[in-house]
Chain A
Amino acid sequence: EVQLLESGGGLVQPGGSLRLSCAASGFTFSSYAMSWVRQAPGKGLEWVSGISGSGGGTYYADTLKGRFTISRDNSKNTLYLQMNSLRADDTAVYYCAKPTNTLVVLNAFDIWGQGTMVTVSS
Chain B
Amino acid sequence: QSALTQPRSVSGSPGQSVTISCTGTSSDVGDYDYVSWYLQHPGKAPKLMIYDVAKRPSGVPDRFSGSKSGNTASLTISGLQAEDEADYYCSSYAGSYTLVFGGGTKLTVL
- Which residues from A are CB-within-8-Å of B98? 47, 59, 61-62, 106
CA distance A50 to B103 in the complex (A): 20
| A100 close to B89 (CB less than 8 A) | no
- Tell yes or no: B57 within 8 A of A by CB: yes
Residues of A within 8 A of B102 (CB): 44
A53 within 8 A of B: no
Interface residues of B: mostly helix, strand, loop or mixed? strand
Contact B103 A59, beta carbon cutoff 8 Å:
no
Cβ–Cβ < 8 Å partners of A115 in chain B: 45
Which bucket holds chain A's interface residue count?
20 to 34
Chain B interface bracket (under 10, 10 to 19, 20 to 34, 35 or more): 20 to 34
| Cross-chain contact of B99 among A50, A110, A112, A113 (Cβ < 8 A) | A50
B74 to chain A: which residues have CB within 8 Å? none
Known: A106-B34, A112-B46; 10 extra A-B contacts, CB below 8 A, are: A37-B46, A44-B101, A44-B103, A59-B97, A62-B1, A100-B51, A107-B34, A108-B52, A112-B45, A114-B45
Q: Which residues of B contact A (CB under 8 A)?
A: 1, 3, 34, 36, 38, 40, 45-48, 51-52, 57, 89, 91, 93, 97-104
24 CB-based A-B contacts, threshold 8 Å: A37-B46, A44-B102, A45-B38, A47-B98, A47-B99, A57-B97, A59-B97, A61-B1, A62-B1, A63-B1, A95-B45, A100-B57, A104-B34, A105-B97, A106-B34, A106-B98, A107-B93, A107-B99, A108-B34, A109-B36, A109-B48, A112-B47, A114-B45, A115-B45
